[in-house]
Amino acid sequence: MTRSFREITYTAPLATPIETEAFLASDEGDWRIIVIPGTPCNKHLFTRFLRTAPRGIEVVVIGRPGFGKNHREAYTSWDDQIAAIKPFLPGGGFGDKEVVTMGISYGGELALKAALDFPGEVHGVVTVAALIDEPHDYALTLEKLGGAAGVEDFVPGRWHRVREEIAGRRDQIGPLLEQLKTLNVPVEVLHGDFDALVPKSNAEKLMQYLGPQTGFDLVPGGTHYLELQYPRRLYAAVRRVIERSKT
C-alpha cells in the first residue's frame, strides 16, 4: 500500500530559532526514521521513499537550515544542523518514538553526529552515499569555479550556500571521525558502485572508523541517488539496524 505524507512547518531550535519545513509520513508504530538530506537540501527527492515506507515506521525528511523557505544564509556549523532534528527526538514535541537517523551524502556525517550527540535517543544510523572525504574531482572543480572572479556574481544564492557547506565541513570531519571510534549504536553504510558524485572510497574510509558490527552494502549499479533507485533497499538497512539495536 502506498503511504501518504504531508508537509509540516516547525521551529528548529538553533541558537537563533528558525522556521523550516519537513515531510512527515505519520505512523502509530514505535520507530521513527529522521532523514537528513544532502546539499543542496531538497526534500522533494524523497517523495518515492516516503510513499514506499513500510508500516510500523514513521518517516520524517527534514528541510535543513539554509534551505528552508525564505532561508538566505548558510548554516555551516553542524551543531546548527543537528539542532533541526531535536523536535523529532523523544521529548521534542512530535511524540516519543525510537529513532534511527538516515543521512544522505552531506547528511551522512550529520546522521552520525546525531547519534554521537544524542546517544540515549538515537538507536542506530544508516548512511547513504555519505560524503566523508571529498567528491569526485570534477565536482571539486565546479565548487571552485563558483567562487571564481567574473562567475561568482552570477551564481544563484542556493549554490553559494552549497559551496559554504562543503567548505565548512572540512574543519569538522576530522574530529567527527575520531569520535566515531566511541560510537556504540549499529550502523549500516550504503554506497552505489556507480556514484558519479561521491566516490565509493568515501564509504571505505568511513568503515575504518566504525566498529566490526557495522554493515556495508555496496550497491551494484547504484548511483548517488539510492533513495530514488532503491528505497526498499534502504528500508531493509533500517530494519537491520533496528534488529541489532535490540540485542
Q: Which of 92, 28, 99 is nearest to 60 (CA)?
A: 99
- Whether the predicted pLDDT of 155 surpasses 50: no
Q: What angle do CA 169, 195, 32 make, to 5 degrees?
A: 65
% of the chain beyond a pLDDT of 70: 91
- Summarised one tens digit per residue, pLDDT across range 219-228 is 999 999 999 9
| 3-state helix, strand and coil shares in percent for the chain, rounded to the nearest 5 | 35, 20, 40
Average pLDDT (189-215) is: 95
Strand spans (E) along 26-129:
31-36, 57-62, 98-104, 122-128
Q: According to the model, what pLDDT value does residue 138 have?
A: 61
Average pLDDT (166-187) is: 95
Collapsed DSSP state (helix, strand, coil) of residue 240: helix
- Summarised one tens digit per residue, pLDDT across range 134-151 is 887 666 555 555 455 554
Q: Which residues contact 175 (CB under 8 A, 6 or more apart)?
A: none
| pLDDT, mean over the chain | 92
Kindly list the structural domains of the chain, giving each domain's residue range(s) and its CATH number in brackets, ordered by start.
Answer: 6-241 (3.40.50.1820)
* CA separation, residue 191 to residues 86, 127, 200, 208, 220 (Å): 27, 8, 6, 15, 9
Q: According to the model, what pLDDT value does residue 134 have?
A: 87
- Summarised one tens digit per residue, pLDDT across range 100-143 is 999 999 999 999 999 999 999 999 999 999 999 988 766 655 55
Collapsed DSSP state (helix, strand, coil) of residue 11: strand
Q: According to the model, what pLDDT value does residue 213 have?
A: 82
Amino acid found at 153: D
Are 65 and 18 contacting, i.e. CB atoms less than 8 angstroms apart? yes
Collapsed DSSP state (helix, strand, coil) of residue 139: helix
Q: According to the model, what pLDDT value does residue 228 have?
A: 96
Collapsed DSSP state (helix, strand, coil) of residue 188: strand
- Whether the predicted pLDDT of 163 surpasses 90: no
Nearest-angstrom CA–CA distance, 164 and 65 = 13
- Whether the predicted pLDDT of 164 surpasses 60: yes
Q: According to the model, what pLDDT value does residue 141 have?
A: 58
State whether the Cα torsion 116-117-118-124 is positive or negative.
Answer: negative
Q: According to the model, what pLDDT value does residue 137 have?
A: 64
Q: Which residues contact 229 (CB under 8 A, 6 or more apart)?
A: 192, 219, 222, 223
- Summarised one tens digit per residue, pLDDT across range 229-241 is 999 999 999 999 9
Nearest-angstrom CA–CA distance, 175 and 221 = 32
- Summarised one tens digit per residue, pLDDT across range 46-100 is 999 999 999 999 999 999 999 999 999 999 999 999 999 999 999 999 999 999 9
Task: Write down the residue that cell numbers 550504503 correspond to.
Answer: 190
State whether the Cα torsion 173-127-164-18 is positive or negative.
Answer: negative
